[in-house]
Amino acid sequence: MHMNPMIEMASPHVVHMTSAHPRDDTRIFLKMCRSAAAGGNRVTLLVADGLGNSSRDGIEIIDVGGASGRLGRMLGSASRVYRKAVALDADIYHFHDPELLPWGAILQSRGKQVIYDAHEDLGEDVRTKAYIPAPLRRLVAAGSDAMEKLFSSRLSGVVGATPVIAAKFTGYGLSSTEVNNFPIMEELHVPDAATMTDRPREFVYVGYISVDRGLVPMLEAVQRLPDPDAVITIAGSFSVEEEQRMAEAMPGWRRVRFLGMQDRGQVAELMARARAGLVLFQPLPNNVAGRPNKLFEYMSAGIPVIASDYPGWRAIVDGARCGLLVDPQSPGAIADAMQWILDHPDEAEAMGRRGYEAIRDRYSWDHEAEKLMALYSKLGANVAEARA
């Protein structure tokens, strides 16, 4: 059926769906939902966090209720998100968790336009899950990949959060759009921040805290710095309580200023007083192939980065000349990089400035939002044609 050119469809109703992420998730809410709403779409966010319904920035947030335990989330929360999605009878559904794949395929079969947002390489992620017995991980990972491919093939499209993830689905012969998790320009940049020379001898780490993200070598590195005033400010939450207890028992924890979760304005202020941002993810497949959001956020704040030396990361950091690359498993190498930043404030300031310029020119969310809005426009046209 060909769409009558005289028929114009109002901006589509877009529903973002998550059974696992928080309602203020940076990628889902701050970037995608707000961009869609700014583009004139009606936007609803379905969450399962138990915090109740609300609205923010013109976006309706509907809570289907939290769940206890991983199994409760994957089964109970996912089915409740689906049922509410059906009740909304929207035009486009954009979901963000692998456990929603079967439900997304069912929505598609009901005549809806449905997008799967792949934040991680699912198979590689499963291979590192400690809760899966080691002998079973390869089998479970293969099954997860097969399931992901099967259900994704029934959808309107897939969004990949990195070039590697997007290419994976393109390799399957599926429609895939690369929408990188680049920062919102100026969100974390403080124009009148103090010069590096005038800042405290402080480094910053923002985000989820875990062994996989370099917790142990980071603490061992700061302990090696000769200046007792050199500290790491950590803003975020621990993924595992046992890892928090372990960290607090380490000598390096005495050189940590732990603030817990902070809002975006507070994060901007923390970065504005830091000498450099730390992003020391350990060499797991998804880490090596990924593009961590915090790397770009540090750059957008105008501070140099001390980052893991992986090929994809090297292309970004060396390409912008915005920081130092290290072996993330070597506390000595990390400490040497931190000391270099402290000893060379003028060079560090120039690194931060170049990182900010790279975000402005190449790695801004504005560019990615345009790709996402083009995808919504295409799917909205499909909805209009089906109704004509």
Inside any domain, residue 8: no
Q: Judge if 249 and 157 occupy the same domain.
A: no
Number of domains within the chain: 2
Low-confidence stretches of the chain (pLDDT < 70) are 1-10, 68-74
Q: Which residues contact 53 (CB under 8 A, 6 or more apart)?
A: 60, 61, 62, 63
Inside any domain, residue 1: no
pLDDT of residue 10: 66
Q: Judge if 203 and 301 occupy the same domain.
A: yes
Both structure tokens of 131: 């809760």
Which tens digit of pLDDT belongs to each residue from 39-51?
999 999 999 999 9
Inside any domain, residue 5: no
pLDDT of residue 3: 43
Q: Judge if 119 and 24 occupy the same domain.
A: yes
pLDDT of residue 222: 98
Q: Judge if 373 and 345 occupy the same domain.
A: no
pLDDT of residue 71: 64
Q: Judge if 45 and 116 occupy the same domain.
A: yes
Q: Judge if 125 and 207 occupy the same domain.
A: no
Which of 147, 139, 143 has the alpha carbon at shortest distance from 118?
Answer: 147
Q: Judge if 209 and 139 occupy the same domain.
A: no
pLDDT of residue 136: 87
Q: Judge if 325 and 223 occupy the same domain.
A: yes
Q: Judge if 232 and 259 occupy the same domain.
A: yes
Inside any domain, residue 68: yes
Inside any domain, residue 4: no
Which tens digit of pLDDT belongs to each residue from 327-379?
999 999 999 999 999 999 999 999 999 999 999 999 999 999 999 999 999 99
Inside any domain, residue 55: yes
Residue 345, domain extent: 196-361
HSE-CB of 65 using CA atoms within 13 angstroms: 11
Inside any domain, residue 344: yes
Q: Judge if 330 and 235 occupy the same domain.
A: yes
Both structure tokens of 144: 């997860």
Q: Judge if 115 and 53 occupy the same domain.
A: yes
Q: Judge if 263 and 142 occupy the same domain.
A: no
Inside any domain, residue 143: yes
Domain CATH for 298: 3.40.50.2000
pLDDT of residue 90: 97
Which of 108, 81, 101, 179 has the alpha carbon at shortest distance from 145?
Answer: 101
Question: Would you say 164 and 121 are in contact if contact means Cβ atoms under 8 Å apart?
Answer: yes
The angle at the Cα of 260, spanning 257 to 264, to the nearest 5 degrees, equals 105
